[in-house]
Amino acid sequence: MGHLPNYEHPAALYTTDFIYGINLFINGNIGLMASESKKVFLIAGEPSGDLHGASLAKAMLDMDGGLNLHGLGGSRMSEAGVHITHDLASTGVMGIIELGKQFRKIRRIYHETVSYLQEWRPDLIVLIDYPGFNLKIAGRARSMGIPVVYYISPQIWAWWRSRIKKMRILVRRMIVILPFEEPLYRDAGIDVRFVGHPLVDQLESYQHDREFIQTQIEEGPVVGFLPGSREQEIRRHLPGMVEASRLLRDRGIAKKFLMAAPNEEKLGLIQELLPADSSIAVYSGKTYEIIQASDACVVCSGTATLETAYFGTPMVIVYRMSPFSYWLGRLLVSVPHVGLANLLAEKEVAPELIQSDFTGNRAADEIEKILADSERQENIRAELKRVRKSLGGSGASAQAARAVLDTLGIESSENAPTSSGAVQIGSASIP
Please write the tens of the pLDDT for every residue from 262-317: 989 999 999 999 999 999 999 999 999 999 999 999 999 988 999 999 999 999 99
Buried b (16+ CB within 10 A) or exposed e, 324-350: ebbebbeeeeeeebbbbbbbbbeeebb
Model pLDDT, residue 23: 40
Residue 158 has what DSSP assignment? T
Model pLDDT, residue 162: 77
Burial of 132 (0-12, 13-18, 19+ CB in 10 A): exposed
Phi, psi of 269 (to 5 degrees): -65, -45
Residues 10-196+395-408, CATH architecture: 3-Layer(aba) Sandwich (3.40)
Residue 145: CB atoms within 10 Å: 7
Mean pLDDT, residues 96-107: 67
What pTM did the predictor assign?
Answer: 0.78
Model pLDDT, residue 412: 56
Residue 54, Cα to own-chain centre: how many angstroms?
A: 11
Name the superfamily (CATH) of residues 205-390. Glycogen Phosphorylase B; (3.40.50.2000)
Rounded CA separation 239/383 (Å) = 30
Q: Is-contact 16 30, C-beta < 8 A? A: no
**Domain 10-196+395-408 matches domain 205-390 at the CATH topology level:** yes
Model pLDDT, residue 99: 53
Domain boundaries, the chain: 10-196+395-408, 205-390
Highest mean pLDDT among 283-287, 337-341, 427-431: 283-287
